[in-house]
Amino acid sequence: MAGEAGEQPTNVAGESPEQIAQPTEAEGETTVTEEGTELERSIGLVGGISIGVGTMIGAGIFVFPGLAAGRAGPAAAGSFAIGAVVALLVALPASELATAMPKSGGGYYFISRGLGALPGAVVGISIWLGLVFATAFYLVGFGNYAAALLAEAGVDVSGVPVVIPLALLFGVALTALNLFGTENAAKLQNYVVGLLLTILVLFLGYGGLDSLGVFGASRAPEQFMPFGPVSMLTTAALVFTSYLGFAQVATVAGDIKDPGRNLPLAMIGSVLIVAVLYVATIFVATSAFGSGPLSGFGETAIVEVARAFFGNLGALAILLAGLLATVSSANASILSTSRAVFGVSRDAILPKFAGRMNLKYGTPHVALAMAGGPVLVLVAYGEVEVLAEVASFLHLVMYGLICVALISMRRDEPDWYDPEFRVPAHRLVAGIGAVTSFGLIAFMQPASQIIGVAIMLGSAGWYNYYASDVQLKGVL
């Protein structure tokens, strides 16, 4: 069992909140000491937006267009719009909770303080595993783009199983990068996202003008919803994985400078940026080929769209952008997964060794291993749609409970609850956010629903076995 419960949980080393490392002279930063387990606040607003955008932009543009068009036709653009609305309805409550509790763990921390230890533990452990599924999904996408880039460059990889080995190799490399310092991982994220956005703006700008008939021949518009409205909702459930990035920002809240200002801006801003890019991408892609042919191209459909516009050079540029996108998504997810484990271990929901810090680099090295290790197992599995939907399932549960936690916090208003950002009409916003989050789950594949429920039941079983005596009160 987790040990005796006190008024407030101690950190993983057994210290009270007063014994945790104190802030340095640099505003908003903390140090890592042998006695404490605080993370250094080394990520600014640009870094926070880069984590959100970098995580979200990968799947929505470089993996899903062909899959989504096959399910919903041009209405896949509406699927991405639905996902954006749900994400914003959750990003607002999450922003308020994050400014009141800017701690590593994100949704776990908010739900455990708002709804209690059991819901928090189920969400905390589930999101650790949900992020593992998401990271594996991104890495498999990376492997596909790397193989396609090699083939485009004239390297014969036919008959050679390169996708999974490349995905495994980069999974190990990104885990190692995060071990050697959060600042290093954040710098990589900023550079990758900056270059990625430059390529995408040029591509979508030209493609949008072409789709409108400014360049090239005009095209007859395709029926917007060829498979009916339900297909748009089922596709929204699939592609919602593309909007998991704003939650990653909350998960690394313990690393964010000036969290009262930067957390809401990073979460809401990143959702708005990628929503515009997603809808524009589906519009351009379905206009270029039609949903049927686009679906036939599979997970690298957007490459063929670029080839149609710019020839082989365009295909190479988009393949490079796809590599950058999947690297940034996987990098941000590994960072967030480790922080989810770190946050849960601080409350003794997981064994205390999971929160141990590497004092040289200021990173939770055991949590990083618990993030990277399971990812490599799932990468070997390689089923893209199942990986994506299980990640979405577990995150949608968390998002719905975040909305419920906000309503609970506002109702009780504990003394320590003093957010710098407050959601207007919070009951309406959070209520709709909860209903839409839970509602999207109903449109998922049965296999994804079964796996998601099994993970949650397993998380509840772990809590009852290991940590049922943990009592949470207030914040650390």
pLDDT at 30: 46
Is residue 140 within 8 Å of residue 382, measured between CB atoms? yes
pLDDT at 104: 64
| pLDDT tens digits for range 150-179 | 888 878 777 667 888 888 888 888 887 777
Structure tokens at 238: 């699939």
More confident residue, 463 or 353: 463
pLDDT at 401: 94
| pLDDT tens digits for range 350-400 | 887 777 776 676 667 787 788 778 888 888 776 667 787 888 898 889 999
> In angstroms, rounded to a whole number, what is the distance separating the alpha carbons of residues 60 and 282?
9
> In angstroms, rounded to a whole number, what is the distance separating the alpha carbons of residues 195 and 320?
10
Q: Which residue, among 172, 201, 213, 112, has the nearest Cα to 377 in the 3D structure?
A: 172
pLDDT at 464 over 50: yes
Mean pLDDT of 236-254: 76
43-466: which CATH number, 1.20.1740.10, 3.40.50.620, 1.50.40.10, 1.10.3720.10?
A: 1.20.1740.10
pLDDT at 10 over 50: no
pLDDT at 271 over 60: yes
pLDDT band at 346 (very low <50, low <70, confident <90, very high): confident
pLDDT at 458 over 50: yes
In degrees and rounded to multiples of 5, residue 241 shows phi and psi of -55, -30
